[in-house]
């Protein structure tokens, strides 16, 4: 047998030759079995942050081949055992190197209760248990096992005791390297996800911030510096996600992740896993630990689109995240803290869903801290000319198309006469279609042949019983409707019961529309409004 110096040198060189802990353990396994009975070797390290004893790696011979494996959670140490490991002096019966016989394990006659919790195979093997530490800071436990009749002697224990220092240093470095790899993999995954999000949202600009969206933008500026939840309400295609990005961009969290979750696009069975992550083995197919969207959004903003699609179970977990800023992964017991700003969006009627029992009332109240209603495109048609130019530029760049001349004023007027049930998204698609089929000259939209409230794709032949002279134009209809609303609201435009509320418009949008149609308001209309004020009826009992 080699001398102690040679043995020390060989062990040090073999375990220090690889940063990957499984490869280092493999080399140590191949060398030690020449001097110590060894059928299996495993390195368990103590996670000081969580109190868990983790299996960093193991090596054993199976069918003539050396098999290795890495990283598996074993158990959480009891507080008394954890405290004992941090004591400057070892507890009674806890030697630097312990010889633990199989019969002692079966009879539960162990030098220390920690050995009862490490692995079941201790009952079938004789074992050398080596406590590794740097100074007084414990790192973990190296276990060397052999099947009877092989046994360990004090000479074997002394041999391992002589190399505790290089073993401790090497495994400490290997553990830190594994931790860095996990962090790197997590960051790489986050970067890939963020890159995909940025690619999808590249060019997403808030058009109309100084026009039809001016009032909503003022609200966004008020709430963006805070961490309060924001509820974005609006029809499909109104740009709720763009507003969520704007709020995040104006907030102190703008240098942190913005994570988007399309609740309606994730299968119900996978929704919890997507939001909160899952542990390895939590369900069939969970081959590794996965970080959820909330964990990735730590320090930043998470945008939950179509919040009404959440399952009842996910609603409960989301409520806990909002209340306590913590959650657990699927299949896990560890509580994870998440500092996340939550922005949610929906086109559904959440109060009705609450009354019908399809959405939790307490969650609704938590989310409804700062509601913002995004107006549909038909209520901010003054933004259409700017939107048309913006989407022309963006789509020509994306599709590598020649940019045609802007549409004529008459074409813009026809676009503004349409109600746009699909909102900004529909306008974007219409422009893309027009660009693909564009000829020479200004951009045209053949489906909009007349300024009607719906695009005329197949215009029926006009009947002789429809004289144009008796058919009012749209501006006249709009003007009459606004005047009726002004009468009912006694000349008030904004506030509860105002004309803007009756018409479903933003006050500034209504004022702009009235100026365009030549309808007086304010002081110039006071006398007229008061003279036309209806007599208030007395209430009858």
| Chain Cα centroid distance, residue 431 | 32
Nearest-angstrom CA–CA distance, 448 and 415: 7
pLDDT band at 121 (very low <50, low <70, confident <90, very high): low
Label residues 170-183 b or e (16+ Cβ within 10 Å = b): bbbebbeebeeeee
**Tokens 């940063």 found at:** 19
pLDDT band at 76 (very low <50, low <70, confident <90, very high): low
Nearest-angstrom CA–CA distance, 444 and 434: 7
DSSP letters spanning 258-323: EEEEEGGGS-HHHHHHHHH-B-TTSSTT--S-B--HHHHTTTSEEEEESGGG--HHHHHHHHHHHH
- Is the predicted pLDDT of residue 464 greater than 50, yes or no? no
Residues 474-501 have a mean pLDDT of: 80
Q: Under a CB-based contact definition with an 8 Å cutoff, are residues 105 and 74 in contact?
A: no
Apex CA 232: angle with CA 391 and CA 225, to 5°? Answer: 95
Note the pLDDT of residue 102: 67
Q: Which two tokens stand for residue 191?
A: 């970067």
Q: Under a CB-based contact definition with an 8 Å cutoff, are residues 157 and 128 in contact?
A: yes
Residues 267-272 have a mean pLDDT of: 80
Nearest-angstrom CA–CA distance, 446 and 433: 11
Residues 280-297 have a mean pLDDT of: 85
Residues in the chain: 541
Check residues 537 and 123 and name the one with the higher pLDDT: 123
Q: Under a CB-based contact definition with an 8 Å cutoff, are residues 278 and 290 in contact?
A: yes
Return the DSSP state at 354. H
Note the pLDDT of residue 26: 84
Residues 518-527 have a mean pLDDT of: 62
Nearest-angstrom CA–CA distance, 246 and 219: 11
| 136-176: pLDDT as tens digits | 677 788 888 888 888 888 888 888 888 888 888 887 887 78
Nearest-angstrom CA–CA distance, 539 and 541: 7
- Beta strands 97-100; 52-62: pairing state: unpaired
Note the pLDDT of residue 116: 58
pTM exceeds 0.75 = no
Residues 295-324 have a mean pLDDT of: 88
Q: Which two tokens stand for residue 75?
A: 């158990």
Residues 356-367 have a mean pLDDT of: 92
Note the pLDDT of residue 438: 84
Note the pLDDT of residue 15: 78
Q: Under a CB-based contact definition with an 8 Å cutoff, are residues 344 and 367 in contact?
A: yes
Nearest-angstrom CA–CA distance, 268 and 371: 26
- Is the predicted pLDDT of residue 113 greater than 60, yes or no? no
Nearest-angstrom CA–CA distance, 165 and 12: 9
- Is the predicted pLDDT of residue 474 greater than 70, yes or no? yes
Question: What is residue 211's three-state secondary structure?
Answer: coil
- Beta strands 230-233; 341-346: pairing state: parallel
Mean pLDDT taken over the chain: 78
Residues 276-286 have a mean pLDDT of: 84
- Is the predicted pLDDT of residue 92 greater than 70, yes or no? no
Note the pLDDT of residue 368: 92
Whole-Å CA distances, 96 to 37, 93, 112, 131, 461: 19, 10, 12, 5, 99
- Nearest C-alpha neighbor of 440 from the set 409, 410, 404, 490: 404
Q: Under a CB-based contact definition with an 8 Å cutoff, are residues 113 and 122 in contact?
A: no
Note the pLDDT of residue 213: 87
Nearest-angstrom CA–CA distance, 314 and 399: 40
Note the pLDDT of residue 305: 92
Q: Kindly report the CATH number that applies to the domain delimited by 471-531.
A: 1.10.10
Residues 257-263 have a mean pLDDT of: 88
CATH code 3.40.50.300 for 209-373: yes
Q: What are phi and psi of 34, to 5 degrees?
A: -75, -20
- Is the predicted pLDDT of residue 94 greater than 50, yes or no? no
Nearest-angstrom CA–CA distance, 249 and 69: 44
Note the pLDDT of residue 257: 85
- Lowest pLDDT segment from 309-313, 428-432, 487-491: 487-491
- Lowest pLDDT segment from 72-76, 316-320, 336-340: 72-76
Provide the β-strand partners of residue 68.
59
- Containing 138, the helix (H) or strand (E) segment is strand 137-146
Please name the fold of domain 4-178.
Answer: Beta-Lactamase (3.30.450)
Return the DSSP state at 345. E
Q: Kindly report the CATH number that applies to the domain delimited by 377-460.
A: 1.10.8.60
Check residues 33 and 66 and name the one with the higher pLDDT: 33
Residues 48-58 have a mean pLDDT of: 73
| Chain Cα centroid distance, residue 389 | 33
Note the pLDDT of residue 312: 84
- Is the predicted pLDDT of residue 459 greater than 50, yes or no? no
Q: Which two tokens stand for residue 515?
A: 């100026």
pLDDT band at 360 (very low <50, low <70, confident <90, very high): very high
Torsion sign (Cα): 493, 496, 501, 506: positive
**Percentage of residues of the chain with pLDDT beyond 70:** 78
| 241-253: pLDDT as tens digits | 889 988 998 999 9
Note the pLDDT of residue 472: 57
| 192-227: pLDDT as tens digits | 666 556 545 544 567 777 778 888 889 999 999 999
* Domain boundaries along the sequence of the chain: 4-178, 209-373, 377-460, 471-531
55 — alpha (psi -120 to 50), left (phi > 0) or beta?
A: beta
Note the pLDDT of residue 446: 79
**Tokens 């290997």 found at:** 174
| 424-458: pLDDT as tens digits | 999 999 999 999 888 888 888 877 654 444 454 44
């Amino acid at each position: 047998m080699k001398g102690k110096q040679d043995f020390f040198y060989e062990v040090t060189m073999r375990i220090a030759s690889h940063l990957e802990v499984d490869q280092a353990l493999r080399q140590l396994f191949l060398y030690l079995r020449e001097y110590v009975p060894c059928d299996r070797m495993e390195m368990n390290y103590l996670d000081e942050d969580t109190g868990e004893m983790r299996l960093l790696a193991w090596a054993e011979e199976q069918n003539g081949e050396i098999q290795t494996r890495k990283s598996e959670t074993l158990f959480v140490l009891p507080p008394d055992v954890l405290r004992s490991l941090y004591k400057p002096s070892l507890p009674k019966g806890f030697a630097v190197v312990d010889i633990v016989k199989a019969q002692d394990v079966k009879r539960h006659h162990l030098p220390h209760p920690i050995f009862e919790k490490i692995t079941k195979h201790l009952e079938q093997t004789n074992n050398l248990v080596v406590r590794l530490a740097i100074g007084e800071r414990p790192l973990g436990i190296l276990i060397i096992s052999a099947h009877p009749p092989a046994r360990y002697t004090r000479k074997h224990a002394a041999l391992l005791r002589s190399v505790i220092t290089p073993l401790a240093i090497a495994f400490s470095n290997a553990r830190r390297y594994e931790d860095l790899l996990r962090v790197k993999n997590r960051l790489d995954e986050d970067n890939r996800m963020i890159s995909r999000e940025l690619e999808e949202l590249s060019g997403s600009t808030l058009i109309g911030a100084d026009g039809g969206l001016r009032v909503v933008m003022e609200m966004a500026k008020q709430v963006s510096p805070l961490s309060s939840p924001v509820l974005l309400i609006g029809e499909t295609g109104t740009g709720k996600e763009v507003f969520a990005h704007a709020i995040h961009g104006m907030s102190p969290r703008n240098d942190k992740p913005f994570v988007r979750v399309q609740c309606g696009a994730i299968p119900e069975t996978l929704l919890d896993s997507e939001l909160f992550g899952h542990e390895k083995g939590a369900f069939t197919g969970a081959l590794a630990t996965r970080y959820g969207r909330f964990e990735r959004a730590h320090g930043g903003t998470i945008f939950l689109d179509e919040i009404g699609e959440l399952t009842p179970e996910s609603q409960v977990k989301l409520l806990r995240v909002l209340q306590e800023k913590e959650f657990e992964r699927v299949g896990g017991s560890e509580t994870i803290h998440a500092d996340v700003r939550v922005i949610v969006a929906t086109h559904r009627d959440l109060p009705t869903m609450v009354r019908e029992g399809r959405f939790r009332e307490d969650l609704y109240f938590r989310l409804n801290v700062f509601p913002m209603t995004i107006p549909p495109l038909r209520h901010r048609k003054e933004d259409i000319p700017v939107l048309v130019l913006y989407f022309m530029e963006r789509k020509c760049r994306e599709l590598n198309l020649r940019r045609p001349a802007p549409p004529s004023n008459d074409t813009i007027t026809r676009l503004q006469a349409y109600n746009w049930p699909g909102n900004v998204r529909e306008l974007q698609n219409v422009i893309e279609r027009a660009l693909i089929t564009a000829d020479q000259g200004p951009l045209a939209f053949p489906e909009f042949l007349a300024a009607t409230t719906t695009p005329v794709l197949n215009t029926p032949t006009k009947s002789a019983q429809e004289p144009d002279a008796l058919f009012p134009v749209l501006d006249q209809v709009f003007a009459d409707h606004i005047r009726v609303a002004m009468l009912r609201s006694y000349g008030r435009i904004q506030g509860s019961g105002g004309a803007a509320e009756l018409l479903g418009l933003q006050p500034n949008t209504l004022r702009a529309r009235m100026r365009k149609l030549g309808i007086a308001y304010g002081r110039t209309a006071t006398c007229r409004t008061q003279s036309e004020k209806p007599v208030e009826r007395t209430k009858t009992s």
